Homo-oligomer: A and B are copies of this chain.
Amino acid sequence: MAEHLYIQVAERIEQLIEKEVIKIGAKLPSVRTLSKENGISISTAFQAYYHLENKGLIEPRPKSGYYVKFSSKRLLDVPKPCKPMKKASEVSTSEMIVEVFHNMTSEDIVRFSVAAPPDILLPGAKLTKAMMHAMRTTPNAGANYESLQGNHNLRLQIARQSINWGGAISEDDIIITSGCMDALTLCLSATTQPGDVIALESPAYCGAFQLAESLGLKVLEIPTHPKHGVDIEYLDKAIPKFKIKACIFVPNFNNPLGAQMPDENKKALVDIINKYDIALIEDDIYGDLYFGKHRPINCKSFDKNGNVLLCNSFSKSIAPGYRVGWTVPGKYYDKVLRLKLNHSIATATLPQAAIGYFLENGRYEHHLRNMRKALHTQCLRYQQAIYEYFPEDTCITRPAGGFVLWAELNPAVNTFELYEAALKRKISLAPGRIFSLQDRYNNCMRLSFGQPFNKRINDSLKTLGKLIQQSL
């Protein structure tokens, strides 16, 4: 679908700002001129400027017109990737993680720590309708077990959408799970034995370390670039050296960096995986939340041998509380299905049916379009506030999708201490240390930009900036 006209015009202006053709502080053409030169109506010209203003890139000055306020060129530096590890680590459970995520549902805290969508971006009313429909149409109002594989219509809808990420799967390739963590747990259990070594990104989603620990696995962290993702050349050498049996990577907008692996790297990664015949568990939970023109493809789309186990869920895009995820486990299909039977028998019937209905009616695409726009805008506004309030030596990543960005502060700052100080002011953040098994990232933190930008968020980021200054 073509973008609205006003967005097309706004994007051209944005590019000019980014390339510094129009510099910060410069005056933009009047609305009348913009309208005339672009052959658009006055109201479309206004909409284009409103759009850019909403993104925090331009500002109106009374009785004068619009001026350039910010350029993404002005953003802070990007952090450097970490050094490789000397050996694979036994996972040590971090009390810190429990501490940080303990307050997950508390409403009076500004939760920069949680990478979950805020209420306002979730399609509450439409979901309720879908659930009512599910109760009316499911045998025995959904009280019975769903099949082990999961709701047929939902699997069909997921298969239909696979074209968006370069896939061509059928409903029989898919297993529904209780959220993405459940999918990851089943896939990791299916591909490893206790004592095995697996590879994760560094920094990586702290839940993946915890999962590895609970399955008795060792973890090698692979240096991951804030822009291009996992260092695949290093990985190629590390797999035989450390006898890696499986990798869990998040190639699209990974957590916590927000990095997006280029398509050619995805292909190369799958080639490496196939060369050593090991498993790639691909967590694509943020894939639908891209800020660019198109949905990024998956590693799974290059998978000919069944070595890629794709995992995903609707927890980031529709309803975390429904706990509906899915996996396309390739050649591990039978094993994953059996593990699902052993560990949980089936996934809850009604949430699956409701989401299947939601997808079937084209509501998902419409909902995602709005959500992506909102998140992209939020991402920019957060970055701008960080630029304004944080010390100049702060580095931040440039997420191209998802919910989170990663900030590297002056080495003198300890972000766990910062976390504790911030919590006293009702602000929570995720300290960098929990995203690694090594004693690293102590001066880093993950900030979720899931909450819409407003005065409270602005003030909280300002407070964070002050706290950072104080700790220097």
Contacts and interface: CB of A to CB of B under 8 A. Distances in A.
Contacts of A344: 178-179, 181-182, 185, 323
Contacts of A98: 338, 341
A320 B350 contact: no
B143 A350 contact: no
Contact of A147 (B105, B179, B195, B349): B105
Contacts of A338: 93, 98, 210
A90 to B, nearest CB: 13
A146 interface: yes
A144 to B, nearest CB: 5
A190 to B, nearest CB: 9
A122 B143 contact: yes
Nearest to A322: B348
Nearest to A321: B349
A213 B323 CA distance: 26
A349 to B, nearest CB: 3
Interface string A96-125: 001001001100000000001001001111
B116 A145 contact: yes
Contacts of A370: none
Nearest to A207: B342
Nearest to A98: B338
A182, A189, A344 — most chain B CB neighbours (10 Å) = A344
Given A131-B350, A341-B101, A342-B207, A143 B320 contact: yes
Contacts of A319: 142-144
A141 B124 contact: yes
Contact of A345 (B93, B179, B194): B179
Contacts of A128: 135, 141
A62 interface: no
Contacts of A139: 119
Nearest to A124: B141
A144 B323 CA distance: 10
Nearest to A114: B145
B207 A147 contact: no
A127 B101 contact: no
Contacts of A427: none
A143 B322 contact: yes
A60 interface: no
B346 A321 contact: yes
Contact of A343 (B101, B124, B211): B211
A423 interface: no
A143 B116 contact: no
A104 to B, nearest CB: 7
A361 interface: no
Contacts of A131: 131, 135, 350
Contacts of A211: 342-343
A58 B103 CA distance: 62
A343 B93 CA distance: 14
A140 interface: yes
Contacts of A193: 216
A281 to B, nearest CB: 14
A341 B144 contact: no
A119 B321 CA distance: 26
A343 B119 contact: no
Interface of A: 93, 98, 101, 104-105, 116, 119, 122-125, 127-128, 131-132, 135, 139-148, 178-179, 181-182, 185, 189, 193-195, 207, 210-211, 213-214, 216, 318-324, 338-339, 341-351
Given A105-B145, A322-B349, 17 more contacts: A93-B338, A122-B140, A122-B144, A127-B141, A128-B135, A131-B135, A140-B321, A142-B319, A143-B321, A145-B320, A178-B344, A178-B348, A181-B344, A207-B345, A323-B345, A324-B348, A351-B351
8 contacts: A119-B144, A143-B321, A178-B347, A181-B345, A185-B344, A193-B216, A214-B342, A320-B345
